[in-house]
Amino acid sequence: MTSLSASRRLLVPGALLLAAVLACASAPTRKEREAAEIHFQLGAEALQGGRRDDALREFNEALQQDERHAPAHLGRGIVYQYFGKLPEAEADYRRALQLDPGFSDAHNALGQLLAQTGRLELAVGEFDQALGNVSYREAYVARCNKGQALYRMGKHEEGVAELRTCLSNAPRYCQGHRALGQIQLEQGKVKDALASLQRYTELCEKVPDAWFQLGLAQMRAGDPEQARAAFERCESVAGDAPMAEQCRQEAKALQ
């Protein structure tokens, strides 16, 4: 017993020493961390500009330099989610949160993915985690997402209340007006929906979807002329984007 205990006492410091050596060996150098940050910034710029393939390449390079770069995991997850690679996106979001448990943007992104895949209660939990950070600058986004998830869970009053709170905090948030307008239309509150979606077009007049959603609401309101005008504006704004054809077909059907 004494000999075994002594052996254990000798093994523990040895194991700790080995772990320390491995940690030092795997830790990125200062040069690698700086390179990772540069590639991350390039990826973020590409993502904002809609160049998703370029963004993915830059995020991959950032993570090759420093696998522990949480924002790069988030960025890559966003690209993966856009491309429909949901398991890969979820893995990146969870890795970002493993590295930085208080990363509100990652909680919000994971919540959106969970909502997209029908895991609404878990999604609300992630949105609450994001909202728990009082310094989170885009808390209104998480609140809007939470409102939509609650509504889909059948908690209609709570969901709408969250959306209204979101818009009171960020009255120029286009997606908030879109979400509220769609819910109002679903509830048969056509006049309210028209007001919300009209506001969406005012704030995001260069977004084809804004005019498309307004056109759908005008159709529900029984105003084909206004609906056609909205669809024609949608086509004009869309330019060469795929949505232009959809808007064109809707406008043509109302001629």
Is 200 part of any domain? yes
First to last CA, the chain: 93
Q: What does the alpha-carbon distance between residue 43 and residue 25 come to, in Å, rounded to a whole number?
A: 27
Q: How far apart are CA 158 and CA 147, in angstroms?
A: 7
Q: How far is CA 119 from CA 103, 126, 128, in A?
A: 20, 11, 15
Residue 81's H or E segment, with its range, is: helix 70-82
Question: What residues contact residue 65 under an 8 Å CB cut-off, 6+ apart?
Answer: 28, 32, 33, 35, 36, 39
Cβ neighbours of residue 71 under 8 Å, at least 6 residues apart? 40, 44, 96, 103, 105
Amino acid making up residue 32: E
- Asked whether 148 and 120 are in contact (CB, 8 A), the reply is no
Quote the pTM value.
0.85
**For residues 155, 161, 163 and 167, what is the CA-based torsion angle, rounded to 10 degrees?**
180
Compute the distance between CA of residue 208 and CA of residue 217 in angstroms, rounded to an integer. Answer: 15
Residue 49 belongs to a domain: no
Q: Which domain holds residue 181?
A: 173-254
Q: Classify residue 71: in a domain, yes or no.
A: no
Q: How many residues does the chain have?
A: 255
Per-residue pLDDT of the chain (255 residues; tens, 9 = 90+): 444 333 333 344 554 444 444 444 468 899 999 999 999 999 999 999 999 999 999 999 999 999 999 999 999 999 999 999 999 999 999 999 999 999 999 999 999 999 999 999 999 999 999 999 999 999 999 999 999 999 999 999 999 999 999 999 999 999 999 999 999 999 999 999 999 999 999 999 999 999 999 999 999 999 999 999 999 999 999 999 889 999 999 999 998
Whether 144 maps to a domain, the answer reads no
CATH number at residue 228: 1.25.40.10
For residue 74, tell me if it sits in a domain: no
193, part of any domain: yes
Does 243 fall in a domain? yes
Place of tokens 């966003």: 78
Q: What is the distance between the alpha carbons of residues 116 and 110, in angstroms, rounded to a whole number?
A: 10
Total domains in the chain come to 1
Contact of 146 with 128, CB cutoff 8 Å: yes
Dihedral angle, C-alpha 225, 226, 232, 234, nearest 10 °: -160
One-letter amino acid for residue 217 of the chain: A
Asked if the structure places residue 3 within a domain, the reply is no
